[in-house]
Amino acid sequence: MIFGVLKDIKAGESRVIATPLEVGTIISDGHTVLVQKDAGIRAGFSNEDYEEQGAEIVEKLEEMYERSDLLAKVKEIEEMEYKLLRENQIIFTCIHPAANPQEVQAILDSKCIAFTAEDSHRFGSVNCEAAGKQGALMGLQSMLTINGGKGKFVSGLAGAPGIKVLILGGGLVGRSALQVLQSLGAWCTVMDVNLGTLREIGKVYNEKVNTQLSTKENIKKILPEIDMVINCVKWPKESKDYLIDRDMLNLMEKGSVIVDISNDADGAIESFRETTHDHPTYIENGVVHYCVGNIPGAIANSTSVAYAASVLGHLRSILNLGVTEACIKDGFLRRSLTAYKGYLTHEETSAIQNRPWIKPEDILDITDKDNLDIAPPATVTRSNNYLKL
């Protein structure tokens, strides 16, 4: 097959989905690799690095789409790319389909085969780890006086206390943020709806981290003493409520910081609006908001190396076995199948956008396979709006 590594064109995005090492591995499997010119340049990988591994450098985006059987990149398919999608072509990227109806429609109209990479990770995405750790550091930068924050130092100084942080969500993102902030001396509280998660966090940190059940009432009670809130909650997209609404901002001191790593419109933070690395913050009700949508892009080399290693198995499986066999082998890859030749195969998108869908197992006709690998659903959102073939 011909595998194409696209250059990401989202504002502020510098990562690349395959480094020269992954390209060399795929070429050794017997495939041809096309790399769009300068795809890895901002992550520290030159065109010559890819050529040394045997890749062909292609200048034009249109040629990449025209020639590649499987195309991969890090972030969403941009509007200018919609017309380039073609039937039977395989796309692997972070589509975030439930939140992007126009992108989904373009994918369906093209009759391509699309995988949304964020749902394919068996052990959690390294991008989540990167977002949590770097997001914590970005929050500390937003706390600086010169950036509109309180001007408090994370661990405090002699005679001046350190900051108090509330982390909403104890999953991979939240634990990654906690690892950085607690090690730097911040006073941290983690809230989650899973008591088992809270117990595990307490055990790991020898009960030196406060834990509480995540409810709006608990958040209201603690907000007046909190310097920084880090939102790491995967908020149900159908929810009409917020964990922190605009009125609750009045409970926080001026110069406090909210870092919304989850970055969901209509998510857990009502005052959220997405920002970019060029203009990362805004102030609402005196509270500094940091809401950059692609935080890991700020550490493009490290995230590219880690992320490329994490998805290489999926890419090789698709290239070496084909879509059907790859989906039989790995339930996490199968659950990330978003669209198949004009049919929606992503349950959350069906529920949020009220579109009929068909299960990946049904469209691929693999339901009765004895060796079918099983994976849990990617989200709690369910849809019975089934499409019958």
> Could you tell me the CA-to-CA distances from 372 to 4, 324, 331, 359 in Å, in that order?
28, 11, 7, 14
92 and 118 in contact (C-beta within 8 Å)?
A: no
Place of tokens 């997209």: 237
User: Which two structure tokens, joined as six digits, stand for 367?
Assistant: 């339901």
How far is residue 201's CA from residue 162's CA, in Å, rounded to a whole number? 21
- Map residue 329 onto helix, strand or coil: helix
Active-site residue numbers? 96, 264
How far is residue 100's CA from residue 98's CA, in Å, rounded to a whole number? 6
Q: Give the β-pairing of 164-168 and 187-192.
A: parallel
308 and 18 in contact (C-beta within 8 Å)?
A: yes
CB atoms closer than 10 angstroms to residue 383: 18
The strand ranges marked E within the chain are 2-5, 32-36, 56-58, 70-72, 90-93, 113-116, 164-168, 187-192, 210-213, 228-231, 257-260, 281-284, 287-290, 337-340, 343-344
102 and 79 in contact (C-beta within 8 Å)?
A: yes
How far is residue 210's CA from residue 190's CA, in Å, rounded to a whole number? 6
How far is residue 319's CA from residue 2's CA, in Å, rounded to a whole number? 9
How far is residue 226's CA from residue 21's CA, in Å, rounded to a whole number? 44
